[in-house]
Amino acid sequence: MILYELISYDVLRLIWWVLLGVLLIGFALTDGFDLGVGALLPFVGRTDEERRIAINTVGPVWEGNQVWLVLGGGAIFAAWPPLYAVSFSGFYLAMFLVLAALILRPVGFKYRNKRPDAAWRSRWDWALFVGGAVPALVFGVAVGNALQGVPFELTGHLVPLYEGNAILKLLGLLNPFALLAGVVSAAMLVTHGAAWLAFKAEGIVARRAMAIGSVSGPVAMLAFALAGVWLAFGIPAYSYAGNIDPSGPSNPLLAEIVRGGSWLNAYTVRPWIAVAPLMGFAGIGLATLGLRKGLGGFSLLASKLGIFGVISTVGLTMFPFILPSSKQPGASLTVWNASSSHQTLFIMLICTLIFLPIVLAYTAWVYKVLWGKVGSDEISSNPNAY
């Protein structure tokens, strides 16, 4: 009870904003290379054995890595209910595409080896490609739309309205800036997957991954730079027009929020956040250099740094906004007006402090047990290999 009183409502809101970012970054750092390997599969493996090598670099860990996405969705549901309601309604068909693509991954892993027929296995290999490439692209598209604002509104009873059928909503999400953000995401995760294969695979599979990653890395950097310029000068920002009450009730309609100006203003108010995009460029650039030099472990660490920087750039630039509304700016969801209650956030924090270290410890143990490269000898001698 004493601890509950010591941690104020505004501090808890800020903690959960950080934790949500940690969960999303954790997903990108871990399952991101799984998605990248899937997107690379038809290109790094030209024979069945080569594709099996690529698959078995991620086969033992992809399920655990995907847990971070589940935790992120759960955190949104429990800590930011309005965000969950609006995003899962407006992005419904896009999320369905992601889930359908992610479902193809375990099915592809399990079914491709059920028959020795080359055509059968090739079809499942392309299914694994879809399971990697589609989520990598759609996640970026979703972020691009969040930066622009989503056309939803709130009634006087705080009921979110997002008009249009599912097809029109999806087509609305596929706008030029969002597609550019999707290119950033896809190229970044392909580079991450290439770094993983360079680190984990042996032989020609690793060399082909290095060659592809040496190209996708600069593409990610260029797209990231173009998106930054577009965001700064072509997309109006959102801001509070009056006083902010970080401990106020979770009612977006109580504060005045306006649209106008540039997102670059965030860097004037908080100059230190410029470290995030610098980390993004430096990490992806060093990963590209490492891939060209054949340094798999270095490239993997550098790509993780780049992903951390890119995702942090989005969160820090938008803060305190989480999901702005382009149709009704005053209904925009922020860190200060869209959270669960003080008590709910506190109970969730205690649970997180107990269970998150367990998840991290188990994940570290799994990677330690599965340490080592995957090559022809490994897949031929291991009866559990895909």
Tell me how far apart the alpha carbons of residues 358 and 367 are, in angstroms, rounded to a whole number. 14
Query: Which pTM value belongs to this model?
Result: 0.92
Average pLDDT on 362-366 reads 85
pLDDT at 322 (0 to 100): 94
* CA–CA separation, 14 and 146 (whole Å): 19
Residue 220: inside a domain, yes or no? yes
> Is 181 a residue whose pLDDT tops 80?
yes
**DSSP string of 315-328, one letter each residue:** HHHHTTEEE-BSS-
pLDDT at 166 (0 to 100): 62
pLDDT band at 94 (very low <50, low <70, confident <90, very high): confident
Tokens of 304: 């993780």
pLDDT at 1: 59
Q: Is residue 2 part of a domain?
A: no
pLDDT band (50, 70, 90) for residue 273: very high
Q: What is the rounded distance in angstroms from the CA atom of residue 250 to the CA atom of residue 337?
A: 4
Beta bridge partners of 161: 153
The string of DSSP letters for 215-280 reads HHHHHHHHHHHHHHHHHHHHS--EEESS---TTS-S-GGGS-EEE-S-TTHHHHH-GGGGHHHHHH
Give the ranges where the chain is alpha helix by DSSP (H): 2-6, 9-44, 48-58, 62-79, 81-90, 92-111, 118-148, 166-173, 176-200, 204-234, 265-269, 275-293, 296-318, 342-369, 376-381
CA dist., res. 108 & res. 308, Å (int): 29
How far is residue 228's CA from residue 132's CA, in Å, rounded to a whole number?
25
Which pLDDT score, from 0 to 100, does residue 3 have? Answer: 67
How many other C-beta atoms lie within 10 A of the C-beta of residue 42?
A: 16
What is the distance between the alpha carbons of residues 122 and 377, in angstroms, rounded to a whole number?
22
pLDDT higher than 70, residue 78: yes
* Gap between the Cα atoms of 111 and 108, Å rounded: 5
Q: Tell me if 364 is assigned to some domain.
A: yes
pLDDT at 90 over 80: no
CA distances from 109 to 52, 90, 127, 200 (A): 10, 31, 10, 18
| Cα distance between residue 270 and residue 276, in whole Å | 12
Using DSSP bridges, classify how beta strands 160-161 and 153-154 pair: parallel, antiparallel or unpaired: antiparallel
Give pLDDT tens digits for 321-344: 999 998 888 889 999 988 999 999
CB 313 within 8 A of CB 23: no
Lowest-confidence region among 124-128, 182-186, 188-192, 307-311: 124-128
4 in a domain, yes or no? no
Q: Which amino acid is at 36?
A: G
pLDDT at 384 over 70: no
Residue 31 β-bridge partners = none
Contact 379, 49 (CB under 8 A): yes
Residue that the structure tokens 């969705």 belong to = 73
Domain count within the chain: 1
Is 5 inside a domain boundary?
no
Residue 89 belongs to some domain of the structure: yes
> Which residues span the domain enclosing 141?
16-381
Give the length of the chain. Answer: 386
**pLDDT for 313-324, tens place per residue?**
999 999 999 999
**8 assigned to some structural domain:** no
